[in-house]
């Protein structure tokens, strides 16, 4: 089976920095460490409220890292202007609500198809790989293909929550739906990624989905870094992902 790329989301390095209003810990330093530890890409989410990553972080990441940057954002005019200025490798469009703690659901591509088709056209023309962060609902997958997205990232948050709550049957059903979603997306010519809420304990069944090409993982890794350091935390995730794919092959 093809090796799975690991994108490391460094948002929460910025969360810790911003808690004190100081200059550290520095998200760019984390990204460079992640690169050294074997990350294949860096993901950062510039939220409308700038609660973690800020504009200057995106500039620094674009200038400083040697691996692809996946720029996560809401589909707003403000973000399109920033993306078109920076031209990152990839843009992952996510829904955003101010009151949420994290990205709670997938994007409603089917319900906003015309606007999103127009929204992504200039981003694609600028050379960015455009990704839609969606649930496994076939309607959302099919709409993502129709509007010309290159990638869908399947939201694994619900699976992760069920797994953490010990709801094994429900987690298995969710996993099965994610597998079907990955198969459908792949059959429509979309590159398939996944992420949200992934940990050492729940990553293996997701990593074993053959159509997947990339996982994006953040919060858990930054938490583990407190105990074992960021490099070793990423290396351990890499090992578990590779093992899961090996076993499946």
Residues near ligand PXP, by CB under 6 A: 9, 11, 45, 72, 92, 94, 102-103, 133, 153, 195-198, 216-220
**Stated length of the chain:** 249
| 72 catalytic per annotation | yes
Residues facing 129 on adjacent strands: 90
**Least distance (Å) between residue 137 CB and ligand PXP:** 16
* Closest CB to ligand PXP among residues 35, 153: 153
Contact 132, 175 (CB under 8 A): no
* Closest CB to ligand PXP among residues 119, 133: 133
Measured between alpha carbons, how far is 223 from 104 in angstroms, rounded to an integer? 19
**Least distance (Å) between residue 99 CB and ligand PXP:** 16
Residue with tokens 């994007």: 107
**Least distance (Å) between residue 79 CB and ligand PXP:** 14
**SS3 label, residue 116:** helix
Residue among 196, 211, 214, 224 flagged as catalytic: 196
**Least distance (Å) between residue 13 CB and ligand PXP:** 11
Long-range contacts of 75-83 (CB under 8 A, 24+ apart): 75/107, 75/112, 75/115, 75/116, 75/119, 76/48, 78/48, 79/46, 80/119, 80/122, 80/123, 82/46, 82/55, 82/58, 83/123, 83/126, 83/128
Rounded alpha-carbon distances, angstroms, from residue 210 to 225, 231, 247? 29, 26, 11
**Least distance (Å) between residue 157 CB and ligand PXP:** 7
| 155 catalytic per annotation | no
* Closest CB to ligand PXP among residues 94, 249: 94
Measured between alpha carbons, how far is 231 from 133 in angstroms, rounded to an integer? 27
Residue among 45, 136, 163, 186 flagged as catalytic: 45
Sign of CA dihedral 183, 186, 188, 192: positive
| 99 catalytic per annotation | no
Cβ neighbour number for residue 127 with a 10 Å cutoff: 9
* Closest CB to ligand PXP among residues 101, 249: 101
* Closest CB to ligand PXP among residues 209, 249: 209
Please identify every residue annotated as catalytic. 45, 72, 196
């Amino acid at each position: 089976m093809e090796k799975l790329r690991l994108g490391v989301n460094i948002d929460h390095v910025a969360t810790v920095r911003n808690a004190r209003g100081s200059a550290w810990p520095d998200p760019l330093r984390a990204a460079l460490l992640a690169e050294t530890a074997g990350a294949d890409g860096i993901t950062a989410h510039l939220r409308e409220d700038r609660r973690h990553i800020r504009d200057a972080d995106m500039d620094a990441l674009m200038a400083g890292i040697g691996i692809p940057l996946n720029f996560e954002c809401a589909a707003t005019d403000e973000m399109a202007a920033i993306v078109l200025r920076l031209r990152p490798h990839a843009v992952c469009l996510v829904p955003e609500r101010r009151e949420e703690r994290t990205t709670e659901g997938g994007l409603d591509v089917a319900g906003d198809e015309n606007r999103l088709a127009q929204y992504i056209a200039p981003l694609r023309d600028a050379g960015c790989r455009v990704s839609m962060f969606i649930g496994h609902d076939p309607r959302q997958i099919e709409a993502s293909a129709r509007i010309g997205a290159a990638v869908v990232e399947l939201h694994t948050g619900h699976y992760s929550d069920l797994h953490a709550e010990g709801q094994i049957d429900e987690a298995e059903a969710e996993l099965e739906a994610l597998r079907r979603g990955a198969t459908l997306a792949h059959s429509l010519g979309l590159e398939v990624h996944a992420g949200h809420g992934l940990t050492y304990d729940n990553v293996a069944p997701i990593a074993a989905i053959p159509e997947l090409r990339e996982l994006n993982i953040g919060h858990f890794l930054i938490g583990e870094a407190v105990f074992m350091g960021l490099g070793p935390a990423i290396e351990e995730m890499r090992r578990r992902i590779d093992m899961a794919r090996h076993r499946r092959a």
